[in-house]
Amino acid sequence: MKKLLLIITATVLICSGCTKKIDNVNKDIDNKTKLQEDKKNEKNEVTKGQENESNTQKQEKDKRENEINLYANYDDIKCKYGYCDQYGNIVIQAEFDHADDFYEDYAVVMRDGKCGYINKKGEVVVDFEFDGAERFAEGYAVVNKDHKWGYIDKNGDVVIELQYQWARDFQGNYAIVRKDEKYGYINKDNKSLTGFIYDSANEFQQGLGYVCKDGKWGLINKEGKNITELEYDEIGDFSDGYALVGKDNKYGYINKKGERVIDCTFDLGQKFQQSYASVKIGDKWAIINKEGQNIPNYEYDMPSEFSEGLAPVEKNKKFGYINENGEVVIDFKYDRACSFKDGIAVVSRDDKFGLINREGKNITEFKYDSIGEFSDGLVVVGEMGEWGYIDSKGNVIFEPQFDTSASFKDGKAIVRIGGKIGLLDKSGEIEWKRVETYEKTTLTPIDDSEKHDDFKSFKKQLLEAIDKKDVDFIKAHLHKDVIDDMYGPCENSAQFLENHLYNENTLFWSNLKHIVKIGGVINNKKNEFIFPYVYDRFIEPDGLKPLQTDFYDRTSYVVCINDNVSVYDKPNKDSKIISKENYSVLRVGEMSWCFIEKDEGKWIKIQLPTGERGYVIKENVQGTYDDNIMFVKEKGVWKLKVYIVE
């Protein structure tokens, strides 16, 4: 997709006039000269003002361009990478073999096996000369050439010679490098902090470096001095002033001075947050404070964290909340529970989510399929495959109606309906930024089985056996290496029968009949029949003209297997019909597979080639990815070799 950005600069000329009474027509030459000089000066001032305005506009434009969030985007047609903005608009054309995200306004890109850097205008700022390259961090970037690693600045100048066996980003003015198979730290002047003496090392965090020798870890400071002995099997990140450490298969905690503040007596542990941490002994969890004292006894099934004085805990497969004294303040009645934030927590019952307050009172009903995190006063909620927003009181601000929706930020949120992507404000206005379309394509039904006398006869017998649920017929026509999932064959045919035929809730018979009746394609060379034709022809045209779609991602499309298929604007037969489709290829894409259950059957949400969203009855369409049945002829007998049905 190509987008042209038109930048229109309007220059507004403001003319001010004055009326001057001249009594003497014969003006003094000095006055005339002065007037000319005044006009010249005025013109110069205007020109200077325009130049300043132009420079300011350019600076603001450059600033806006640098503030744009760009994302690496793969073009399936060109098989190249470019960049798009948050709305999916192409900003930098796809011309690279690989592309990384932007950091410090530069991104690593690859062309012809060599790495370089571009800015957000798509301009090459560091030539394609390196075998490997990493993102910029603190103004420096790691690069690799001929198996040697070093650093460059944003001008592309080498600031630390390519001399190391391996190198990492600078963090806190120090970077980890490897030399002579040993690790150490260097600063931006390439001076070594400790020498190259360690078997492994991690970045500095909160002023401390993690180092390992002979399988044991310890901490050093930025002077290269040991904060702890190298005695631990592992050391976690510092949180709330403490770090989890492991020694001899037991866990405890140290502070930033390297002091062991809680002995290694636990079987597992979590990081401290708000002065509490979860620890495990045996198969139960408890919560301890910074003195190592248990808040509750070891009676909970899952680790937890305190937030706003409360912690969600699990007991007997139900969640409740305890306070900092270990007292149960909200009963164990939820299937899942999250930490409190601003006095609100997300909890679930019977696979539906809602909000509660600190007293355990419901803020919303339990009706949502998912609930996000509050941002800018609102939270995203999902219901029946569509998304909306509610506030902290549970008031519905925008009914679930969007196919995708992001959190609000500065009063706006990115939303999508069908192929339309835009910016929603809190008044409900949407500024559409992009409409994603695709070329209309059809796939005419095929059923080679009606032309193949041998298989036609077998198919007739098969359908009769399905109607009778004739297990013996299936057993006689079951391949010994039958495949019933994407990862390979069953252990044996008996396992297949157990999975699909001896299960009282099986859908095997109805699924097999439905897919076979759609129609299949023969591969004469291999004596194979593949059902449905949609699966075979969409993925491998095999002599047919390939489908002219934007992508060849089979998970993104369904095919109408009937003609005159009605597309409705809502999942309801009483709603408006917005299109009639004849064997069309329809996109599901970003909206994902969402079956909406109604009395009249299952519905699927689709996107029309124009970008408009619609809904179709599921029985009228077939996925190009999920169902795949194959019969092979073996010793004159047709046998079921593949049965993959979602």
3-state secondary structure 580-591: EECCEEEECHHH
Residue among 164, 247, 242, 167 at smallest CA distance from 208: 242
Q: How far apart are CA 540 and CA 532, in angstroms?
A: 13
Query: DSSP assignment of 497-516, as one string?
Result: HHHHTS-TT--HHHHHHHHH
Give the number of C-alpha atoms closer than 13 A to the C-alpha of residue 38, restricted to the C-beta side: 6
pLDDT of residue 550: 41
H-run or E-run covering 110? strand 106-111
Cβ atoms of 248 and 255 within 8 Å: the answer is no
H-run or E-run covering 123? none
As a whole number of Å, the CA-based R_g of the chain is: 34
Cβ atoms of 218 and 209 within 8 Å: the answer is no
Q: How far apart are CA 287 and CA 274, in angstroms?
A: 12
H-run or E-run covering 36? helix 29-67
Backbone angles phi, psi at 47, to 5 degrees: -60, -45
Q: How far apart are CA 410 and CA 426, in angstroms?
A: 10
DSSP state of 199: S
Helices 453-468 and 508-518: crossing angle, nearest 10°?
150
pLDDT of residue 297: 77
637 forms bridges with which residues in the sheet? 634
DSSP state of 590: G
DSSP state of 309: T
Q: How far apart are CA 272 and CA 295, in angstroms?
A: 14
Cβ atoms of 278 and 287 within 8 Å: the answer is yes
Q: Which regions in the chain score pLDDT beneath 50?
A: 1-53, 61, 63-65, 539-552
Q: How far apart are CA 163 and CA 508, in angstroms?
A: 63
Cβ atoms of 614 and 620 within 8 Å: the answer is no
DSSP state of 563: S
DSSP state of 55: H
Q: How far apart are CA 125 and CA 183, in angstroms?
A: 31
Residue 305, SS3?
A: coil
Cα first-last separation, the chain: 33
- Tell me, rounded to whole angstroms, the distance of Cα 83 from its chain centroid: 16
Q: How far apart are CA 461 and CA 472, in angstroms?
A: 12
In 418-523, DSSP assigns E strands to: 420-425, 430-435, 478-485, 488-489, 521-523
Tokens, residue 633: 């002829």
Cβ atoms of 245 and 236 within 8 Å: the answer is yes
Counting other chains too, the contacts that 364-371 makes at CB distance below 8 Å and 24 or more residues apart are 364/390, 364/394, 371/346
Side chain identity at residue 131, one-letter code? D
